[in-house]
Amino acid sequence: MFRPSALAVIGASEKQGKVGRVVLENILASGYKGTVFPVNPSYAEVFSLPCFPSVSELPEAPELAIVIIPAAAVQGVVEECGARGVKAAVIISAGFKESGREGYRREMELRQVAEGLGIEVLGPNCLGIADTSTPLNATFATKAPLPGKVAFMSQSGALCTAVLGWSEENHLGFSRFISLGNKMDLNESDLLVALEQDANTSVIAAYLEGVADGERFLDVTARVSRAKPVIIFKAGVTQAGAKAVSSHTGSLAGSENAYIAAFHKCGALRADTVEGLFMLAQGFSSQPPPSGPRVCVVTNAGGPGIITSDALERAGLSLASLSEETAKKLREGLPEAASVYNPVDVLGDASAERYRLAIEHALADRGVDSMIVILTPQAMTKASDTARAVAECAGGASKTVFAVFMGGQEVKEAEDILREAGIPNFSFPEEAVSTLRVMKSYTDFLSRPRQTWVRFDVDKGKVRDVFARVREQQRNELVEVEAREILEAYGLPVARTLMATNLEECIKAGREIGYPVVIKIASPQILHKTDVGGVVVGIENTDKLISAYEQVTANARKFFPRADIWGVLVQEMLPPSRELILGMNRDSQFGPLLMTGLGGVYVEVLKDVSFRLAPVSEEDVMDMLRELKSYWLLRGTRGEAPADIDAVIESVLRISQLVTDFPEINELDINPLRVLEDGDGCLAADARIVLEE
């Protein structure tokens, strides 16, 4: 598609204001070396090229068809293309899914036709494609992309045109420029595969509003990310998921957390703003990602140095501690008033040579992973000479070097010198720091070990049996006792519990388990038991058990007169413990989204939760727990003994295996998971499982 030896422009035209004219002009202006066949029954010649009335009358089969004709005629043309042996088409024409019901129907039909003919389609409703190394610019944008190493794909055609204007101003070059349009056939995953193989592309940047096939996206991106950075600006982040959910995990999950977890899993890098997307593209295409978090700042002014330090701390990066040896060399070479500690302040009157000395020594320091060189134009400042010095020093080092030459017009020439040397210049320190932060996270991804998943020995048959029983009863929500069976089958420790269908059984169960005990109402209709007085804790003897039994059953009948009451669960009373929540909500795009968090009734208030997509490794779970503020509760605060974190990790891994093995589980909550002191394990005290309907 990107390097066709011949292409047809179906709907080519010389008429002013016609998209067919702009596309053809762009193709010709781009220096495309293959054969161009204009196709249009109204002309014999277009821009001095022979024009053909139809695809079937072309002298040879082109490798690519660019289609720019009214929507209603597209299907016919695609059929002709198929008959003529064309294998790929870029359909620029609008009037499909984006334009309402009629267009939707048209697109569905077109898809079937194209599929049947084996034609790959980009679009419809797109701006076209460009490849600056072929070279080929088959878009109807008024600007052509500059050549470069960044491949950009966008789900919004309008954004493409805006980006072309912006990139010209900021001298950002592209290898390929792709407008995805309606993604009828080819989607972001297909393009990622194509871009992975393109030797001219070293960075992939994308604007996406959604992902066509979540699982394939995860697989493809995980592979491509290892070869080149994939940076994505995801729009529509805040839209709430449409599906109603009843679990804590479900209500906290949301599509935003699913995307964060998905990007984390596959190594896609998230840009927070459109501008950030391109700063990252610029950073990655010109500098190596930093090997660690330690940044050295060299500046000729204190203020911007402080701003940079603040930004580094906020970004989770650190100011490198320079070695005593480096400090000594700096002290020898710099004036007395200079600061030889980080930020290195070379003073307002710094010459290019003074900058050079500071940069050389600091870059040579083993404790420095990356550098930000700041310049503000002052009386003695030679911005361009300094830019040359920065370029020379950075060229010899394998470390990330960014420049923040502030001051607009006064540093324009210096900016050009820096750009030539592949050193991105940022107008403000914060931009350099946020770019560095994401580049550092790419290093983290690359150094992440390929994940291995523990498989525990479990009783899958038992789970199948329980699910079958639930289905038989036309239910999709499991009652607590069933959920407990599932957990036990997967080796999760559960609090000792007996089902009692009447008072007599209840008294027997109390004796068998041993006081103190807890009782809970058991009914398929009552899911949030504490809310209706369906739980009594700390029951110390038979007398109290009897009155508790009467109380919870009376409450259940009062609040749920039509509920099917099976009896009560009698459970061992656990020692004081820390409470977590473990859960899973199946995301419609990316599958099983696991959650850990601070448990108990406060989970939805405090929202101290973390997410990952299953399956997860031991390291993943450890990261999940570390992301929680309440991790410090597990570690033991203020003299408290640490909790059994290993037991929590194993529980999450077992849940991960369960929800991976059984895709029919839609929602799962263990709340609370009671975590005892280190060595004493943890116990699921209450569990809910909901199957897909």
Q: What crossing angle do the helices spanning 214-227 and 188-197 adopt, rounded to 10°?
A: 20
169 binds its own copies (CB under 8 A): yes
Which one of 182-190, 310-318, 457-465, 504-512 is the stretch in contact with its own copies (CB under 8 A)? 310-318
554 binds its own copies (CB under 8 A): no
CA pair distance 91, 75, nearest whole angstrom: 10
Q: Which is nearer to its own copies, 209 or 488 (CB)?
A: 209
Min dist CB 94 to its own copies, Å, is 8
Q: Which is nearer to its own copies, 296 or 633 (CB)?
A: 633
Residues 431-460 within binding reach of its own copies (CB under 8 A): 431
Residues 631-660 within binding reach of its own copies (CB under 8 A): 632-633, 637-639
150 binds its own copies (CB under 8 A): no
3-class DSSP assignment, residue 6: strand
Among residues 13, 139, 156, 370, the one that binds its own copies under rule CB under 8 A: 156
555 binds its own copies (CB under 8 A): no
**Total site size for its own copies, rule CB under 8 A:** 80
Please, are residues 689 and 667 in contact by the beta-carbon 8 Å criterion?
yes
Contacts of 638 (CB under 8 A, 6+ apart): none
Among residues 17, 118, 449, 461, the one that binds its own copies under rule CB under 8 A: 17
Among residues 15, 60, 413, 428, the one that binds its own copies under rule CB under 8 A: 428
Among residues 61, 113, 146, 306, the one that binds its own copies under rule CB under 8 A: 306
Which one of 224-232, 269-277, 390-398, 646-654 is the stretch in contact with its own copies (CB under 8 A)? 269-277
CA pair distance 613, 597, nearest whole angstrom: 15
600: exposed, middle or buried (C-beta count within 10 Å: 0-12, 13-18, 19+)? middle
Q: Which is nearer to its own copies, 446 or 601 (CB)?
A: 601
Scanning 365-401, the segments in alpha helix (DSSP H) are 383-396
Q: Beta-carbon neighbour count of residue 178 at 10 Å?
A: 28
Please, are residues 103 and 135 in contact by the beta-carbon 8 Å criterion?
no
* CA–CA–CA angle 283, 284, 289 (5° rounding): 100
Min dist CB 491 to its own copies, Å, is 30
Q: Which is nearer to its own copies, 168 or 392 (CB)?
A: 168
Q: Which is nearer to its own copies, 456 or 602 (CB)?
A: 602
Min dist CB 176 to its own copies, Å, is 19
Residues 494-553 within binding reach of its own copies (CB under 8 A): 528, 530-532
Please state the separation of Cα 567 from the chain's center in Å: 46
CA pair distance 191, 232, nearest whole angstrom: 13
Among residues 430, 459, 623, 677, the one that binds its own copies under rule CB under 8 A: 430
DSSP tag of 555:
H
Among residues 48, 238, 447, 452, the one that binds its own copies under rule CB under 8 A: 238
Contacts of 295 (CB under 8 A, 6+ apart): 312, 317, 318, 319, 320, 368, 369, 370, 371, 372, 433, 436
36: exposed, middle or buried (C-beta count within 10 Å: 0-12, 13-18, 19+)? buried
300 binds its own copies (CB under 8 A): yes
3-class DSSP assignment, residue 403: strand
Q: What crossing angle do the helices spanning 460-472 and 480-489 adopt, rounded to 10°?
A: 160
* CA–CA–CA angle 332, 337, 338 (5° rounding): 65
Q: Which is nearer to its own copies, 95 or 135 (CB)?
A: 95
275 binds its own copies (CB under 8 A): yes
Contacts of 445 (CB under 8 A, 6+ apart): 225, 267, 269
Which one of 503-511, 594-602, 617-625, 675-683 is the stretch in contact with its own copies (CB under 8 A)? 594-602
Residues 20-59 within binding reach of its own copies (CB under 8 A): 22
Q: Which is nearer to its own copies, 338 or 522 (CB)?
A: 338
Which one of 283-291, 307-315, 416-424, 567-575 is the stretch in contact with its own copies (CB under 8 A)? 307-315
608 binds its own copies (CB under 8 A): yes
DSSP string, 434-503: HHHHHHHHHHHHHHSPPP--------HHHHHHHHHHHHHTT--B--HHHHHHHHHHTT--B--EEEESSH
CA pair distance 217, 223, nearest whole angstrom: 10
Q: Which is nearer to its own copies, 179 or 666 (CB)?
A: 179
Among residues 7, 129, 159, 346, the one that binds its own copies under rule CB under 8 A: 159
669 binds its own copies (CB under 8 A): no
DSSP tag of 530:
G
Which one of 31-39, 406-414, 447-455, 459-467 is the stretch in contact with its own copies (CB under 8 A)? 406-414
Residues 110-149 within binding reach of its own copies (CB under 8 A): 140, 142-143
Residues 190-209 within binding reach of its own copies (CB under 8 A): 207, 209
Min dist CB 199 to its own copies, Å, is 29
| Burial track 233-261 (b if 16+ CB lie within 10 A, e otherwise) | bbeeeeeebeeebebbbbebbbbbbbbbb
Residues 61-100 within binding reach of its own copies (CB under 8 A): 99-100
Min dist CB 53 to its own copies, Å, is 25
Pairing of strands 147-154, 174-179: parallel
DSSP string, 151-174: EEEES-HHHHHHHHHHHHHTT--E
Q: Which is nearer to its own copies, 628 or 691 (CB)?
A: 628
Min dist CB 465 to its own copies, Å, is 33
Please, are residues 8 and 34 in contact by the beta-carbon 8 Å criterion?
no
Q: Which is nearer to its own copies, 303 or 679 (CB)?
A: 303
Min dist CB 117 to its own copies, Å, is 29
Site string for its own copies, 341-380 (x = CB under 8 A): -------x---------------------------xxxxx
